[in-house]
Amino acid sequence: MDVDASTTSPVSRGLSAQAQAERQRALAAMLRQPLLTADGRSDVEDFTLVRRHSTWLAEWFSKHCQWTLHVRSEMARLRKNPGDLDDTTRPLLDSKGQPFTRRRYAVLCLALAVLEKSERQTVLQRIADDIAAEFASEPALASQGILFDLTVREHRRDLVEVIKYLIGLNVLTRVDGDEQQFVSSQQQDVLYNINSNLLTAMLNVRRGPSTIKVDSTDERIRAMVDETFPDTEDGRHRRLRTRLFRRLLDDPIIYYASLEEDERTYLVTQRPSIVREIENASGLIQEARKEGLAMIDPEDVMTDVRMPSEGTDGHVTLLIAEYLANSLRNGSAKPVALVMLGQYADSLILQFGKHWRKDVSEPGAAGVLLQESLGRLEMLRLIDWNRQNATVTPLPAIARYALGPVQENPLLLKDDQLPLWPKGDLS
């Protein structure tokens, strides 16, 4: 039986609002960090809320995203599959904010494998030796150009970045030693405790990899996370709705042009109900445009990648964004050659280099700055970066970084009045 909110007491309404706020924070915490621990230094309050509202969270994730949430006394694990398995724009970042390389991903997978065979404690040198042995026993890695040699400093650094990632998840706890000494000379060892429960929770698949008999890596990945829906009208709608929920929670922007026709049709017709459910559960706010839909995080609690605003990197990224936005505003949605952007980056160093960090004057610095800026813009769905053709295409939402008049608030407009993404709106 529904209860008229006007007839409930202020205390009841207050408790209801508090419960909703707690659920929103708990849901945001699981989206931001799908593996939460009770002893995480920055996760204790969030973990407490997740445990308090675990039943509601599990039901919501299961109903709308087909994701499973397991909450125990020491951890909470959200097993979430992405809405787009072909998305390569959201890599794992290292301690310096740089994307993991193929070798680092391979080292991470093998590190988990060797840790699973370890006792409650282990040392860095043993982990390194076991990983090197796994590489030696798997010639397919070498045939793909993925090598691991402990005599090479860069390879040791790759291992240490993987270890730091596992420490951040509390899978490993450093007891004694310093990884940097291992990178420098491989002389000093490091002792770790292994949290076997968290280690086991790392794997997120629906089928065990060893049970899959296919040759293609892409086929193997899809088989590991394959989901079946009934071959009925209702089943097809559930599949579409699930994928759209996942993408709206995971991705900063969805462009209608990037969707299949059936997805686009479903989103256009069902957008009010989907958005209302996400806004109520997460606290995100929609920004609807003719080109697509963005879910804005007003509290900045779920945002993992941000547009930098300070320092050399921030200035360069904003200037590159403005350059591409002005190109789009001037009526050109055509790809921009990477060579042209490189020349623009060179000109920026000549113009602003004296105000930036000293290493921008070194040979090749402009290329590095450009690559990092484009990587950030790509993760934010502001550009399409075609590495094979060495071109960059500005996407509609980058128009907010062009200089120009601010347009009216789209949230005050009806669907048939929605504007394009604004020009000059830097909010």
Question: In degrees rounded to 5, what are phi and psi of residue 292?
Answer: 170, -160
Selected from 1.10.287, 2.30.30, 1.10.10, 3.30.110, the CATH number assigned to the domain covering 311-401 reads 1.10.10
Distances (CA, A) of 408 to 105, 119, 289, 396: 45, 61, 12, 17
| CA–CA dist 224, 68 (Å, integer) | 15
Q: What CA dihedral angle connects 39, 41, 45 and 47, to 10 degrees? A: -40
DSSP string of 315-359, one letter each residue: HHHHHHHHHHHHHHHTT--SPEEHHHHHHHHHHHHHHHGGGS-GG
Q: Where are the beta strands (DSSP E) in 40-147?
A: 68-71, 75-79, 121-123
Between strands 292-296 and 253-255, the pairing is: antiparallel
Residue type for position 297? D
- Look-up of token digits 């293609």: 216
Selected from 3.30.420, 1.10.10, 1.10.3470, 1.10.600, the CATH number assigned to the domain covering 102-201 reads 1.10.10
Q: Is residue 100 a contact partner of residue 108, using CB atoms and an 8 Å limit?
A: yes
Q: Encode pLDDT of 213-271 as tens digits.
A: 887 777 888 888 888 888 899 999 999 999 999 999 988 789 999 999 999 999 999 99
Q: How many residues does the chain have?
A: 427
DSSP string of 371-421, one letter each residue: HHHHHHHHHTTSEEEETTTTEEEE-GGGGGGSSSPPPPPGGGS-GGG--PS
- How many Å separate Cα 379 from the centre of its chain? 8
| CA–CA dist 290, 322 (Å, integer) | 21
Which residues, in sequence order, are CB contacts of 198 under 8 Å at separation 6+?
A: 35, 37, 75, 169, 170, 171
- Look-up of token digits 């490091």: 190
Between strands 285-289 and 172-176, the pairing is: unpaired
pLDDT tens, N- to C-terminus, the chain (427 residues): 444 555 566 666 666 889 999 999 999 999 999 999 887 666 789 999 999 999 999 999 999 999 999 999 999 999 998 888 788 888 888 988 888 999 999 999 999 999 999 999 999 999 999 999 999 998 889 998 999 999 999 999 999 999 999 999 999 999 999 999 899 887 789 999 999 999 999 988 888 777 888 877 778 888 888 888 888 999 999 999 999 999 999 887 899 999 999 999 999 999 999 999 999 999 999 998 989 999 988 887 887 777 776 788 889 999 999 999 988 877 667 899 999 999 999 999 999 988 888 888 888 889 999 999 999 899 889 999 999 999 999 999 998 887 655 444 444 334 444 556 554 333 3
Give the pTM. Answer: 0.83
Question: In degrees rounded to 5, what are phi and psi of residue 77?
Answer: -125, 115
